[in-house]
Chains A and B, each alone.
Chain A
Amino acid sequence: MMTRLPPPILLIARYTAIEALRGRFLWLCLLAACGAAGLSLFVGQLALTESTATQAALAAAALRLASVFLIITFVVTSMAREAADKGLELVLALPLPRSAYLLGKLAGFAALAVLPAALFGLLTLLWAPPLQSLLWGVSLLAELWLVAAFSLLCAASLAHALPALAASAGFYLLARVIDTLQLLAHGRHASDGLLQQALTGGVDVLALLLPRLDLYARSDWLLYASGSWHALAPLLVQTAIYVSLLATAALCDFYRRSLS
């Protein structure tokens, strides 16, 4: 009797997640959680007032950075290792469309992102009401999906690990500060020169192309219980649009690539 194999996308996603778990991904997440908890205990002792809010703000920022760092590093190094080991050629020698491989990898990374988002979201229960922790955790997951999709695009198209890491980190930083950059560009102190106008135009175009990551996993939700499903909904829509855009761009590049 023949056993029926799961669809190739799920199979590739499963092995991507297994690879991460074997690479101590879970342990690193736990270590980051312990580090953030230790940091929060420390600052809680120092704060003159609003110690819980101070703990939540600093620990949430640290957890968010740690999870983004782990996801970017894993996505890029995993793709680079597979290219170096000729695993990619092996998989593509099978009767599989190229899209199955790339979407399988993306699904694997997306599934993996649930781990830090859930773990760190649970940790924020120490400082915030359950609903706010849940909202924060879900929006962190959405942020990690965006970061994973962009890292996959970079890793698949840039071929080398270092440029892919640099590009992913640059995208993340830019997407986090793009709103402030836009405010600065349009500020009262901006000059009216041609160069300034060109720069302002450039920043405006960038703002149209990038998702506003500063709206994701907001610390003020944890501090002032100001989050709501209503505030989360646009973030989920933005995530769906942008992950689709990045996945399509990665597929276009991947289909063009000659692997011989």
Chain B
Amino acid sequence: MSAQLRPFSSVPRALWWLLALCLLLQVGWQLSQRSSTAQVQPLPAPPSVALARLASLGEPQAMARAMLLHLQAFDDQPGVSLPWRTLDYAHLTGWLATAQALDPRSQYALLAASTVYTGVADPARVRRMLRFVADSFAQDPQHRWQAMAQATLAARHQLHDLPLARSYARQLRLQATGPGVPAWVRQMEVFILEDMDELHSAQLVLGALLASGQMTDPNELAFMARRLDELAARKAAQAGN
């Protein structure tokens, strides 16, 4: 076939009209579909890790990120904006866990769980997200401590559940001991114990931290020593009262 085209006038006029009509029909159809009552689609159950890996065609990292972006966009469906409390958090946790399993080195799913999906005003749902973060942290504490620290703060300030916050902070102190983990992460437990007014326990934990040799910075050591003195003074004052 020659690459040279004949002029537009060589096309029958009726064909142009038919083309325009078909185009209008397509646009009209799409518009009518959009203006019809928007229906909320519930979050479906997550695929199994094996199935997701199979569907990824050997690109698990790309699949994990595509899944998380899809999940992220799920609360903004065409014509409807869904509050997070309407999402099925059991399914949500499953999707996050699948994405995490596809790309274990990524922090994306954990960050979404600890900072985004804990933003829901329902303690049960928040607890589910925190449990997901804590379970993931236990599998790789040296690389997942950021999300766990975030979960500790959420338990402390959002749920006001000091025992839970303390339990998370304790796991951080005992498990996140690698050289890449900053010292303040291991010190969180002390501050939470102070909030709980458990001054004796705080004193013990602080003493253990100082004795462990994990802190080497002189300023930090001096600060923690001062803190230990303050705790002793507060404890003495409590005993005096």
Contact partners of A57 in chain B: CB under 8 A: 59, 61-62, 64-65
Partner of B107, one of A50, A61, A64, A187: A50
Asked if B61 and A220 sit within 8 Å, CB to CB, the answer is: yes
- The B34-85 residues at the A interface (CB cut-off 8 A) are 50, 53-54, 57-59, 61-62, 64-66, 69, 72-73
Give the contact-size bracket for chain A.
Answer: 20 to 34
Give the contact-size bracket for chain B.
Answer: 20 to 34
Known: A50-B108, A54-B108. A43 touches B69 (CB 8 A): yes
In the bound complex, how far is the Cα of B54 from the Cα of A226, in angstroms? 22
Task: Say yes or no for A213: interface residue by CB 8 A criterion.
Answer: yes
Contact partners of B65 in chain A: CB under 8 A: 43, 47, 53-54, 57-58
Asked if A47 and B54 sit within 8 Å, CB to CB, the answer is: no
Asked if B59 and A180 sit within 8 Å, CB to CB, the answer is: no
Among residues of B, the one whose C-beta sits closest to the C-beta of A183 is B50
Contact partners of B59 in chain A: CB under 8 A: 57, 60-61, 64, 219
Contact partners of B112 in chain A: CB under 8 A: 48-49
Partner of B106, one of A53, A179, A180: A53
In the bound complex, how far is the Cα of B68 from the Cα of A48, in angstroms? 10
Known: A180-B54, A183-B50, A224-B105. A219 touches B62 (CB 8 A): yes
Known: A46-B69, A177-B57. A60 touches B62 (CB 8 A): yes
In the bound complex, how far is the Cα of B108 from the Cα of A49, in angstroms? 6
Distance from B106 Cβ to chain A, minimum over Cβ atoms (Å): 6
A47-B65, A48-B108, A61-B62 are known; give 12 further A-B pairs, CB within 8 A: A48-B112, A48-B116, A49-B107, A53-B106, A57-B59, A57-B64, A61-B59, A177-B57, A179-B58, A214-B58, A223-B61, A224-B105
